């Protein structure tokens, strides 16, 4: 299954298994992505505004490619982790951010450059996050019930092997939690 541009625009619930890792090897990862014949979506300047919510995380992603309101539940652990994601595609509109800011308050803002690739249902991000550094994310996505959690876990582990991700590179926290810690706040 390959994600089309229409798939990128669709809204709804998704089950993801993902990893986040520190990475200083973006060129080597790009070379491997070439061998795997990934589909490059492009490089997106994304500003993720996280809002105060009682459970999970709620963020508004404003980008040059992806624009979504995303609520997700995920445990903080290193290695592959499951996320229950509810995603609503939005059109860029500062009024939505203003409404959410006034209603909920801003927890933290994450500003990043994200290079987005797909290999079938697996989305690979090469991220440069302002104030934090460079990272690799691997996100095995089940958008329509085609994959079990175990299959997504296996895909994630396979791509970790492809990109030589070491256990000590794996991160537990989200970028938002990392920034909050850097600024002396508490994570969610």
Domains plus CATH for the chain?
5-182 (2.40.320.10)
Please tell me the predicted confidence (pLDDT) of residue 16: 87
Contact (Cβ atoms closer than 8 angstroms) between residue 8 and residue 42? no
**Residue ranges, the chain, pLDDT below 70:** 1-13, 76-79, 185-188
Match 């541009």 to its residue by tokens. Answer: 5
Residue 94, both tokens: 């500062």
Q: 2 with 39: CB under 8 angstroms?
A: yes
User: What is the model's pLDDT at position 140?
Assistant: 94
For residue 118, what are the contacts with CB-CB under 8 A and spacing of at least 6? 2, 3, 38, 39, 41, 124
**What is the residue whose two structure tokens read 């490619």?**
65
Q: What is the pLDDT of residue 77?
A: 60
Q: What is the pLDDT of residue 87?
A: 87
Query: Can you give the pLDDT at residue 186?
Result: 53
Alpha-carbon span 46 to 28, nearest angstrom: 23
> What is the rounded distance in angstroms from the CA atom of residue 68 to the CA atom of residue 76?
22
pLDDT of residue 15: 81
- In this prediction, residue 80 carries a pLDDT of 76
Residue 62 contacts residue 49 (beta carbons within 8 Å):
yes
């Amino acid at each position: 299954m390959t994600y089309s541009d229409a798939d990128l625009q669709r809204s709804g619930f998704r089950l993801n298994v993902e990893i986040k890792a520190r990475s200083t090897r973006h060129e080597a990862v790009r070379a491997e992505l070439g061998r795997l014949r990934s589909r490059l979506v492009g490089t997106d300047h994304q500003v993720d505004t996280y809002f105060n919510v009682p459970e999970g995380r709620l963020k508004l992603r404003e980008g040059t490619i992806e624009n979504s309101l995303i609520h997700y539940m995920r445990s903080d652990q290193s290695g592959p982790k499951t996320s229950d994601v509810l995603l609503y595609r939005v059109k860029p509109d500062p009024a939505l951010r203003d409404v959410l800011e006034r209603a909920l308050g801003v927890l933290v803002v994450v500003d990043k450059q994200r290079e987005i690739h797909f290999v079938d249902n697996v989305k690979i991000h090469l991220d440069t996050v302002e104030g934090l550094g460079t990272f690799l994310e691997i996100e095995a996505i089940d958008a329509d019930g085609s994959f079990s959690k175990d299959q997504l876990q296996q895909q994630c582990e396979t791509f970790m092997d492809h990109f030589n991700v070491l256990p000590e590179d794996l991160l537990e926290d989200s970028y938002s939690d990392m920034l909050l810690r850097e600024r002396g706040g508490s994570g969610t």
